[in-house]
Structures are given as structure tokens and as C-alpha cells.
Amino acid sequence: MAVLPDLSVDIGGLKLKNPVITASGTFGYGTELTPFFDPSLLGAIIVKGLSLKPIPGNPPPRIAETPCGLLNAIGLANIGIQAFIEEKLPMLTKIEAPVITNIYGHTVKEYADLAKKIEKVEGIAAIEINISCPNVEKGGMAFGTDPDTAAMVTGQVVSNTTKPVVVKLTPNVTDITTIARAVESAGAQAISVTNAILGMAVDVTTRRPKLANIVGGLSGPAIKPIALYLVHKVVAAVRIPVIGLGGIMDYRDALEFLLVGARAIQVGTANFVNPKTAIEIVHGLTDFCSREKISNINQIIGGLKTI
């Protein structure tokens, strides 16, 4: 029998056995989908975005479906970093895949405090910073829309941890490359592109917004072309690895992101539609490489032919 292709990738010092990661907020606290497959088989797991204090989240309705997409305004509901470490992490450490915590704060200091807390904890392999949330000190514009603020958040986290730091960018900017370069300069080991895109929907019968929060984040296949373009741009702008996500539903979608240069990919909304998506992508990439006689996945990454 043929030798299995090598799917392992290196994300800023973090070694993954394959490039398939579950996206924050779409995989619970990491163990909920074990009835469907063993998460140890994934490249890594990113858990629900965590804040210093527990957050109840937004009033319902929190979700609305749009053509090939999902709008959500969960309001970053989470149990808080402390409860996560005490109640969820012990179960997670049994999983033989790196666990990445996704964090967000309302102020730069909150990000720093989260980094300090996580630094002391074993069993967390890396930190992903969500900078798509409103900066309460700066009038509510997202941290990730301004290069200086993005760099400041990144710098504060990097200087308070020895773990690899991934910065997850917001797509809602004029030029994503300026933000990407800013966080790279500030010490990020990798960049995730993209978070959900701002959107809204209206129920014409009730004449109300479909989300109680009015505005939400759009994810799912609808945004795939936009996400792919942003990844393509960021890959060209920075040297650090880029993790691609946005609308990935199967291994062919994953390949699109790898071809434009993503070193790994994340599966988000697809987990809701088919909870086995992530593991099926691992299998799909393995089969694809075998079929195409590709011994190492790195041969595909950035392999887009443009001439």
C-alpha cells in the first residue's frame, strides 16, 4: 500500500498533524462533537471566544439564515476564562490535538490580562486573538479596523505569553494588508483570515430586524469568495503563516484556501450543517494528495497557477 501523504504543517512554531482546525464559536468548548468523531484526529481545536468575566450574550433571536449564509449575533456569550480553565480544560487535555483559546476583550488591558491568565495554564497550545470586537475605549469601532490599535492589542498579548499568538483579522476594512502588517510587526506568529462580515436581515412580515441585535456577522458559503480574496491579499503582504477560513464546507473548499497560500484552514459554520465536516476534510485532503501523488501538503500550499 502507498505511504500516506504528510499533511503536517507548522503555524508559527505550532506543529499540526494536518491543516484542519475548528473555528472559534462553532465547535463549542471542544468536546461537544465527540459523538461524531474523535477530535484528536484534527490539526487543532479553537474553542469558543473567552473573556475575563462570563458573558450572558445577546437576547434572541441570535441567528438568522440568509442565502447560503448564516447571520449571528451571539454576543460572544461564554462562561469566562476562569470557568473554562476549571470546568472545560480538564476534559480537553485528553484530546491529542493542540487546543487554542480564542480571546477577546473590551479594552487593551483585558487582552493583556487574558494572556497572563492563559500563560500560566498547561494544555493550551496557542492563543488566537479576536480583534473584531468593539473597542469600548475608542467609541466602539472594532480593534481590528485600525492598524495601531490592532498592533497594540497584539503587542500586549505577545509580551504576556510565551505561547504562539495568532491574530484573527476582521474583513470589514478598506485595506486588510495594513492591519496584517501591523500585527505581524507587533509580534504575531500567525494570522487568521477571516472573521464574519457585518450584515443584517429584515423580516418583512413583522418589519423587524431578524436579529435582536439588528447587526450580526455573516458566515458560511456565501462569504467564501470574499474570504478567499482576503487570504490571497494577506498571504502576499506578510511572511508569517496565514490560516484561511470563511465558508469552507468540504475538502475542495479547503484546497482553494491552501492553493492561494493558507498554511492551514478553519471550519466554522459547516460544523453546524454537518458535524463531521472537519474530519471529512482531513480524509478528503489525504485522498486528494494520494490520488494526485502529492507526498506533502506543503506542495499544494500557495500552488495557485496565475499565468
Ligand X SMILES: Cc1cc2nc3c(=O)[nH]c(=O)nc-3n(C[C@H](O)[C@H](O)[C@H](O)COP(=O)(O)O)c2cc1C
Residue selected from 19, 25, 144, 284 as contacting ligand X according to rule CB under 6 A? 25
Given 125, 133, 166, 218, which residue is catalytic? 133
Work out whether 264 is an interface residue with ligand X (CB under 6 A).
no
Q: Confirm or reject binding of residue 135 to ligand X (CB under 6 A).
A: no
Binding-residue pattern over the window 159 to 198 for a copy of itself, x denoting contact by CB under 8 A:
-------------xxxx---------------------xx
CB-wise, 230 or 248, nearer to ligand X?
248
The DSSP code for 123 is T
2-61 binders of a copy of itself (CB under 8 A): none
**How far lies 81's CA from each of 102, 128, 137, in Å?**
10, 14, 22
Among 52, 76, 151, 243, binds ligand X (CB under 6 A): 76
> Measuring CA to CA, which residue among 185, 73, 175 is closest to residue 133?
73
Asked whether position 277 contacts a copy of itself by CB under 8 A, the answer is: no
- The residues of the shown chain that bind another protein, judged by CB under 8 A, are 25-28, 32-33, 35-36, 48, 56-65, 67-70, 72, 74, 77, 220-221, 249, 269, 271-276
What are the cell numbers at 155?
A: 503587542
Task: Give the x-and-dash track for 59-98 against a copy of itself (CB under 8 A).
Answer: -------xxxx-x---------------------------
Minimum distance between the CB of residue 267 and ligand X, rounded to whole angstroms? 6
Residues 54-73 that bind ligand X (CB under 6 A): 70, 72
Of 119 and 250, nearer to another protein (C-beta) is 250
Alpha helix stretches (DSSP H) within the chain: 81-83, 89-92, 108-119, 147-158, 176-185, 224-237, 251-260, 270-273, 277-291
Check: CB of residue 106 under 8 Å from CB of residue 143.
no
Region at 28 (left for phi over 0; alpha for psi -120 to 50; beta for the rest)? left
Q: Is 226 in the site for a copy of itself (CB under 8 A)?
A: yes
Catalytic site includes residue 289: no
| Per-residue 3-state assignment (H helix, E strand, C coil) for 179-211 | HHHHHHHCCCCEEEECCCEEECCEECCCCEECC
The residues pairing with 10 across neighbouring beta strands, listed in sequence order, are 15
Cα–Cα distances in angstroms (integers) from residue 289 to residues 16, 20, 143, 267, 284, in the given order: 17, 15, 39, 20, 9
Task: Identify which of 12, 33, 88, 24 has the alpha carbon closest to the alpha carbon of residue 275.
Answer: 33
246: contact with ligand X by CB under 6 A: yes
Enzyme catalytic residues: 133
Residues that bind ligand X (CB under 6 A): 23-26, 48-49, 70, 72, 74, 76, 102, 130, 168, 195-196, 219-220, 223, 245-248, 268-270
